[in-house]
Chain A
Amino acid sequence: MTAWEPPDRPRSRLAYCCPEKMAEDREPPPLADAVQTDFREVEEGEDLFVSTVSTAEQLSPTSPEPASFPAEDISTNSNGPKQEILLDDDQEDLFAEATEEVSLDSPEREPILSDGPSPAITPVTPTVIITPRVDALFDRSLDEDEEAEENGDTFDMQITVSDPEKVGDGMNAYMAYKVTTKTSLSLFSRNEFSVKRRFSDFLGLHSKLASKYMHIGYIVPPAPEKSIVGMTKVKVGKEDLSSAEFVEKRRSALERYLMRTVNHPALVKDPDVIQFLENTELPRAVSTQALSGAGILRMVNKAADAVNKMTIKMNESDAWFEEKQQQFENLDIQLRKLHASVESLVCHRKELSVNTASFAKSAAMLGNSEDHTALSRALSQLAEVEEKIDQLHHEQAYADFYLFSELLGDYVRLITAVKGVFDQRMKTWSKWQDAQVMLQRKREAEAKLQYANKPDKLQQAKDEIKEEIEEWEAKVQQGERDFEQISKNIRREVERFEKQRVKDFKVVIIKYLESLVHTQQQLIKYWEAFLPEAKAIA
């Protein structure tokens, strides 16, 4: 295992790679704070299933949590006892403190092939084991949840992704990231812990979450995108600025991804998430590879989905959904435009940094060659000022990039997830309709049987049909319930999303302004220092 060390550079060009390391030279880039404050101030406890009843008792007296998990009754057919089955021997006892906690709100119904769990993974995923007891959970009224919001829980969780390290050589190499969690939530066995994860682990996590929750209407934050080009550069050991930037960009994206995921009240309790954050060893998610069998299957399914989308004509009884879909389409377009604008801005700023550095160098040469002492000194000072200004431009480009470009990019991807959820609703509706059609057919078949001429087979057939009818009646009922539930969930999710969006943007704007103000104040200092030098030229 060769640790990949960032190349040594005289100037702080590595800001993009290891902002923490540059802390000594300059103030840490705003992003790190942004991520944390961003998500810290957010959680007003949209805790869907704040039914971690007994956790209140289990919590240590020092924990601030007690307030955040008000005791709520959970129906008796809860998933309580199932918790024990969940845990595998080779995992720590995740739920030592939260025995009655409902960690699994919405178990897997039928695995969506496109995002199914990989066969290569040690199958301790609760999804497979738990028998769905959905009804009970979904029957809980949402009003309780809205009350929960008012309790003003503090969402105390902080995740950092750091220390990218190249493991292995050649095309089999990969980047390992350190994922550190700091939390006082009782969901976790410790307050602070870290693990090593690789990119495909993150993708695997997303894949599992998506297959569990998307079809009931939860907006699952999308994982960062794969980049074959970017990753190949890193694998072959191309240690230039662009691959350093790529690694930093990815590190930051992974961090935001995790924070968004745990920010979701249901997802944070998901055992896969907890396992991801806590377990030292995680089975490798092979099915996330682009060119694997599962990957190809995924592509095929995506195509199938697209076709289905076109053919499903839904009778939309609820105008809200139609409006919302249109709004999201518009928002998508707007955000993409903004994203393009910001990228251009970032590009120019980077260019400016390069040009300023170049000018600084030539001014320095002038200072050295100039005979007149005071003038020479002033020119050298000029060169220094310009160099410092170059630093500022560099930092500002960093801020522009991370604060805006990445935020906008994230939201463009999130909107894709939102659209996905709307599509799921359509699918659910379609399934319900199909069930109704089948039921109708069975009833017709039954009616026909009344007039059939084969008495010996008749009774058997009649019984069969009766059974089938019952089956389909149940399915129709289920279908209707599912549809209503997903509609309900989506409404709530969209509301949460919208609120979150406003908060995210507000926080980022403030961070951005702070960085702008800081830049200006630094400039003032530099100019004030230079003025006496200029005046001293005699």
Chain B
Amino acid sequence: MGSNEDSAQSVNGSSIKITDVTQDGDTLTFAITSQKSSSSAGVCVFRTYEDFEWLQQGLFSQEDVPGLQGVIFPPLPSKPLPSTSLSQAKALKQLGFLALGDEWMIYCKALELYLQQVAAHTTLSKSKALYSFLNSSESPGKQCGKKGILNRLSQAMEEMRKEGHKDVDEFFQSERDSSTNLSALFKLSTEKFLDVVLNKQRLALACGHFSTSLHLCVNQDNPTAVAFSKICLKLSDIIEAVKINYEKVSDNDISTLGLGLDLESRYQEAKREMLFRRTCKLVELETANRNSERAKPNKKAIMEGVQKATQKEFDIISSVAKQEIEHYHRDRVSLLRDFLICWCEKQLSTARESSALLSQHLDACKKFAV
């Protein structure tokens, strides 16, 4: 919980890497390395998901940050479920793309991005919690942190009402509207893309079965049977190539566009949550205004005090929010761009490989004398 100057040494955000993950029963432990921006010396720590949750709570509960509620908090991925065959479906539902990929690679990538985003945030990077998280040899999650004023927002019925509350600021109103719309669309696209990817994996599996069946069609009884066997084996190889292609294509999908869409969806949610917090504050402010107007003379001063404080809070939140939104727009575009380029390049490379291999097979088959 150090309150000394260590925390002032900022971490080099892009140096944060999750280098390893180990599974022990139900618990995953992540190895996280990072460097300070001033030195090249690296630090390695081991953290579990609870530690990440502790960090997120810590960020929510910083007390000395004005307008904290206006911050768009980088979204933390959901808790990883160890994937046994029973919970595979559940894992997919909860984590989406993050549940796919070998050995939690995609999930680790998402966590890594989370940490990098926190470290890149002007306000959040200064948090002691982050410092502790990245440097402390002890697992900070074991300490009971204060419950922050901002809990993970669950939209209770009464809260839902506030969501639609009309804004006083055109900029924010339009941001809220577009946020609601885009958020839903991104979520939908992510789900659809997940369906596509899972389908490709099934296709790869089916190709595998076909290839194996062909392999079993070997028969040496007579020259024609031998010729037929050769053909079957050739086809088996071809189908195997098709299968591998599908596997690569879906891996590409998962590690680039899939991850990108997932991240974008969650970030959209984070933005919505921030806007909602501000809206709640707005409602609070308007209530305070009314109270102040209607207050009896003896309470008037107090009410006015409350009103002024609330107004101030609201204004700060709004100004922070505005900045955050601008950064958000810039960051997300750049993030999506990177993911889209990466996706395209990988798929292009895979397609070229596959095309070359299949062309080879084609040439070989044409020469195949019967």
Contact = CB atoms under 8 A, between A and B. Distances in A.
Interface of A: 323, 327, 330-331, 334, 337-338, 341-342, 344-345, 348-349, 351-352, 355-356, 358-359, 362-363, 365-366, 369-372, 374-375, 378, 382, 495, 498-499, 501-503, 505-506, 509-510, 512-514, 516-517, 520-521, 523-524, 527-528, 530-531, 534-535, 537-538
Contacts of A334: 213, 216-217
Given A344-B206, A345-B207, A330 B358 contact: no
A323 B221 contact: yes
Interface stretch (B11-19, B70-78, B96-104, B197-205): B197-205
B203 A345 contact: yes
Contacts of A337: 213, 216
B370 interface: yes
Contacts of A521: 355
A363 B189 contact: yes
A351 B196 CA distance: 9
Given A366-B189, A520-B358, A348 B199 contact: yes
B287 interface: no
Interface stretch (B28-36, B131-139, B158-166, B346-354): B346-354
A530 B346 CA distance: 12
A327 B225 CA distance: 10
Interface stretch (B113-121, B180-188, B270-278): B180-188
Contacts of B329: 372
Given A359-B193, A498-B228, 16 more contacts: A338-B214, A341-B213, A352-B200, A362-B188, A369-B185, A375-B337, A501-B224, A502-B227, A505-B231, A510-B365, A517-B358, A524-B352, A527-B351, A530-B344, A534-B340, A534-B343
B203 A349 contact: yes
B90 interface: no
A537 B336 contact: yes
Given A366-B186, A520-B354, A378 B340 contact: yes
B355 A517 contact: yes
Interface in B319-344: 329, 333, 336-337, 340-341, 343-344
B355 A358 contact: no
Contacts of A538: 333
Interface-central residue, B178, B203, B222, by most chain A CB under 10 Å: B203
Interface stretch (B56-64, B234-242, B299-307): B234-242
A407 to B, nearest CB: 11
A341 B202 CA distance: 13
Contacts of A514: 362
Contacts of B189: 359, 362-363, 365-366
A352 B200 CA distance: 7
Given A366-B186, A513-B362, A537-B333, A358 B340 contact: no
Given A341-B209, A516-B242, A520-B358, A509 B235 contact: yes
Contacts of A524: 348, 351-352, 355
Interface of A is mostly: helix
25 contacts: A323-B221, A338-B214, A341-B209, A349-B203, A352-B196, A366-B185, A366-B189, A369-B178, A369-B181, A371-B178, A498-B224, A501-B228, A502-B370, A503-B370, A505-B231, A505-B235, A509-B235, A513-B365, A517-B359, A520-B355, A521-B355, A527-B347, A527-B348, A534-B337, A534-B344
B20 to A, nearest CB: 31
Contacts of A378: 336-337, 340
Nearest to B210: A341
B195 interface: yes
Contacts of A523: 347, 351, 355
A509 B199 contact: no
B355 A355 contact: no
B22 to A, nearest CB: 35
A510 B358 CA distance: 11
Interface in B49-101: none
A517 B362 CA distance: 8
A527 B178 contact: no
A375 B336 contact: yes
Q: Which A-B residue pairs are the 5 nearest by beta carbons?
A: A520-B355, A498-B224, A527-B348, A341-B210, A359-B192
A351 B199 contact: yes
A378 B340 CA distance: 9
Given A327-B219, A502-B370, A531-B344, A362 B185 contact: yes
Interface of B: 178, 181-182, 185-186, 188-189, 192-193, 195-196, 199-200, 202-203, 206-207, 209-210, 213-214, 216-217, 219, 221-222, 224-225, 227-228, 231-232, 234-235, 238, 242, 245, 329, 333, 336-337, 340-341, 343-345, 347-348, 351-352, 354-355, 358-359, 361-362, 365-366, 368, 370
Given A338-B214, A382-B340, A513 B196 contact: no
A334 B231 CA distance: 14
A69 to B, nearest CB: 26
Contacts of B207: 345
B361 A513 contact: yes
Contact of B219 (A330, A520, A530, A537): A330
Contacts of B199: 348, 351-352, 355
Contacts of A534: 337, 340-341, 343-344
B366 to A, nearest CB: 6
A375 B178 CA distance: 15
Nearest to B336: A375
B365 A506 contact: yes
Contact of B362 (A331, A345, A510, A530): A510
Contacts of A531: 341, 344-345, 348
Given A344-B206, A369-B178, A369-B185, A506 B368 contact: yes
Nearest to A347: B206
A338 B348 contact: no
Contact of B341 (A352, A371, A535): A535
A481 to B, nearest CB: 28
Nearest to B205: A348
A351 B242 CA distance: 17
A355 B358 CA distance: 25
Contacts of B347: 523, 527
Nearest to B352: A524
Nearest to B228: A502
Contact of B224 (A345, A369, A502): A502
B185 A352 contact: no
A375 to B, nearest CB: 5
Contact of B206 (A330, A341, A502, A517): A341
Contacts of B235: 505, 509
Contacts of A503: 370
A505 B221 contact: no
B272 to A, nearest CB: 15
Nearest to B342: A534
B328 to A, nearest CB: 11
Nearest to B356: A520
Nearest to B201: A348
A349 B337 CA distance: 30
Nearest to A524: B351
A19 B208 CA distance: 29
A483 B370 CA distance: 32
B176 to A, nearest CB: 13
A365 B185 contact: yes
A359 B182 CA distance: 15
Nearest to B211: A341
